[in-house]
């Protein structure tokens, strides 16, 4: 047990501090912006301190455990704890959320509500990764949905109501399976009713029940991960949400789906996972190829990047289904890597929109000479997304690739077929990303007049140059690129955070297998 409730403080501080926003002076939102940024930064610093000083990275089991009764009549515990799965994702949450607060600086519409929702979502996301009671996990999962819905519905684009409604229908309906599954596990048999996730993971369930629970959890987390065919909410949401919200969607929300699959489907239902693992690989391959091909047809810049996110999440599914330590480690690294890369791409797309007032690719073009700093940053982030060696995405995809190719759980024929299909997806990725760069920054100038408010023409009747990235944009993008490069050059910075836990999970799953080959034809 923790001597001080560090995790409780980390979870509750953002939303509690957000409740004080109505008391702040307006000042056109300036005070509110600085206050919200300070709150998110303080919480991130606290996260770094707690994990740096009070967490043992050589221990794979839960640490910093805090558990006490919350609602006695429901046997609901306020139960928090972290291990190698939680720590890197909580660090990612604090880092990306702090930068997204700074990215939201241009938002002037109802800043009090906007920044409160951002801080509430901050608490909900950390709560998801730290919860060790399945009912508390579900409550935190739902707490995170409401702010996202409102952020899209109020501050989104022209089709914001359609996008926000589709988001809440997909995610809220799917999350019901978490509640149903949790209640089924807690009340199964004649054992003592408990919602503690560690105790539930140590119980034995018949294979039929495991399969039903696995399917339910797969739907819930597959929707959040944007797995095919329940991915269609994501492009619509990204296409309409403000880019600061997109940073949180791509950087953190998708990772909640991957975390749920590893924590619940792998950790709690190992026998069912052995049966479904090949299908996860198949869905992952479809994700990679289908989303890559679909991205070619997108005319909207943010929708094109959104489909690239769907494609990259396919590697997470393959790594989870590979039944190998390298594959699962690659899936974790892919979630962290894409969290940084996806956030950077959506921020740069939003910054470009702030200047051009369009996301339609046919209306852009020729911006490289007018916005050289933005062009350089966009190119670097796109190269990271296509897994250029020396950047974080390369090692993540390589580990997943090798994890599947060398997995002893599958027959050589299955591994060859899936590895070849995965390689095709890897080849398609640079094509659509480099095509995106060409459409935005190369070729003749687009149809957009370079002014945010009104036409600004040069002496010869030609549009004047767009304003390039300023200090705020440079700082945010550089802050994301530094860890992308650092992880690519020295991956132990990240892999050491979760290696012990992920290896233990894979060993436990393989230990229950009686068949050396899970998939033989």
Using the predicted structure, report yes or no on whether residue 222 has a pLDDT greater than 50: yes
CA separation for the pair 445, 364 (Å, rounded) = 7
* Alpha-carbon dihedral sign for residues 207, 228, 138, 305: positive
Could you tell me what percent of the chain has a pLDDT over 90?
61
Q: What is the pLDDT of residue 468?
A: 82
Residues in a beta bridge with 224: none
Q: What is the pLDDT of residue 246?
A: 92
CA separation for the pair 175, 213 (Å, rounded) = 13
Where residue 253 falls among pLDDT bands split at 50, 70, 90? very high
Over the stretch 314-365, which tens digit does the pLDDT of each residue have?
A: 999 999 999 999 999 999 999 999 999 999 999 999 999 888 888 888 888 8
Asked if the bond preceding 229 is cis, omega within 30° of 0, the reply is: yes
Could you tell me what percent of the chain has a pLDDT over 70?
94
The DSSP annotation for 59-98 comes to --S-EEEEEEEEEGGGTEEEEEEE-TTHHHHHHHHHHHHH
The average pLDDT across 470-479 equals 93
Over the stretch 165-205, which tens digit does the pLDDT of each residue have?
A: 999 999 999 999 999 999 999 888 777 788 889 888 888 88
Q: What is the pLDDT of residue 164?
A: 92
CA separation for the pair 187, 192 (Å, rounded) = 8
Using the predicted structure, report yes or no on whether residue 457 has a pLDDT greater than 60: no
Q: What is the mean pLDDT of the chain?
A: 88
160 compared with 3, residue with greater pLDDT:
160
Residues in a beta bridge with 77: 69
Using the predicted structure, report yes or no on whether residue 126 has a pLDDT greater than 90: yes
- Domain locations along the chain: 6-450+466-511
Taking each helix axis as running N to C, give the angle between helix 160-187 and helix 233-240, from 0 to 180 degrees, rounded to the nearest 10. Answer: 130
| HSE, side-chain direction, 13 A CA sphere, residue 365 | 12
CB 506 within 8 A of CB 398: no
The average pLDDT across 44-64 equals 91
């Amino acid at each position: 047990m923790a001597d001080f409730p560090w995790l409780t403080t980390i979870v509750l501080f953002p939303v509690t501090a957000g409740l004080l926003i109505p008391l702040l002076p307006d000042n056109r939102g300036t005070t509110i912006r600085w206050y919200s940024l300070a709150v998110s930064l303080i919480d991130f610093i606290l996260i770094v301190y707690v994990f740096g000083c009070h967490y043992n990275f050589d221990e794979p089991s839960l640490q910093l455990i805090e558990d006490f009764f919350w609602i006695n009549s429901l046997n609901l515990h306020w139960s928090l704890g972290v291990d190698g799965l939680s720590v890197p994702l909580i660090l990612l949450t604090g880092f990306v959320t702090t930068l997204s607060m700074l990215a939201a600086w241009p938002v002037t519409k109802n800043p009090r509500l906007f920044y409160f929702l951002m801080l509430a979502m901050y608490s909900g996301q950390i709560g998801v990764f730290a919860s060790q009671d399945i009912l508390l996990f579900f409550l935190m999962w739902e707490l995170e949905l409401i702010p996202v819905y409102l952020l899209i519905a109020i501050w989104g684009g022209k089709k914001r109501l359609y996008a926000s409604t589709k988001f809440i229908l997909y995610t809220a309906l799917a999350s019901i399976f978490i509640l149903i599954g949790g209640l089924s596990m807690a009340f199964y048999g004649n054992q003592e009713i408990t919602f503690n996730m560690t105790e539930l993971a140590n119980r034995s369930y018949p294979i039929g029940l495991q399969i039903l629970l696995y399917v339910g959890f797969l739907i819930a987390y597959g929707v959040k991960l944007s797995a095919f065919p329940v991915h269609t909410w994501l492009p619509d949401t990204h296409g309409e949400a403000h880019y600061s919200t997109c940073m949180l969607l791509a950087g953190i929300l998708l990772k909640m789906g991957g975390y749920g699959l590893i924590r619940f489907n792998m950790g709690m239902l190992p026998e069912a996972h052995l049966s479904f693992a090949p299908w996860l690989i198949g869905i992952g391959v479809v994700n990679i190829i289908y989303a890559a091909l679909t991205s070619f047809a997108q005319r909207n810049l943010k929708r094109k990047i959104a489909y690239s996110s769907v494609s990259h999440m396919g590697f997470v599914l393959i790594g989870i289904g590979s039944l190998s330590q390298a594959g699962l480690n690659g899936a974790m690294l892919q979630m962290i890597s894409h969290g940084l890369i996806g956030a950077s791409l959506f921020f740069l797309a939003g910054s470009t929109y702030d200047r051009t007032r369009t996301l339609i690719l046919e209306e852009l073009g020729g911006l490289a000479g007018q916005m050289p700093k933005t062009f350089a940053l966009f190119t670097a982030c796109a190269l990271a997304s296509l897994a250029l060696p020396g950047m974080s995405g390369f090692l993540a995809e390589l580990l997943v690739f090798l994890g599947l190719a060398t997995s002893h759980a599958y027959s050589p024929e299955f591994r060859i077929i899936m590895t070849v299909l995965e390689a095709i997806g890897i080849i398609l990725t640079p094509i659509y990303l480099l095509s995106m760069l060409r459409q935005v920054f190369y070729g003749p100038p687009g149809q957009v007049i370079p002014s945010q408010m009104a036409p600004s023409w040069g002496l010869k009747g030609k549009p004047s140059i767009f304003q390039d990235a300023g200090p705020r944009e440079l700082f945010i993008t550089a802050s994301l690129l530094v860890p992308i490069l650092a992880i690519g050059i020295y991956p132990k910075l990240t892999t050491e955070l979760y290696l012990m836990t992920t290896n233990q999970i894979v060993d436990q799953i393989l230990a229950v297998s009686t068949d050396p080959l899970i998939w033989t034809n």
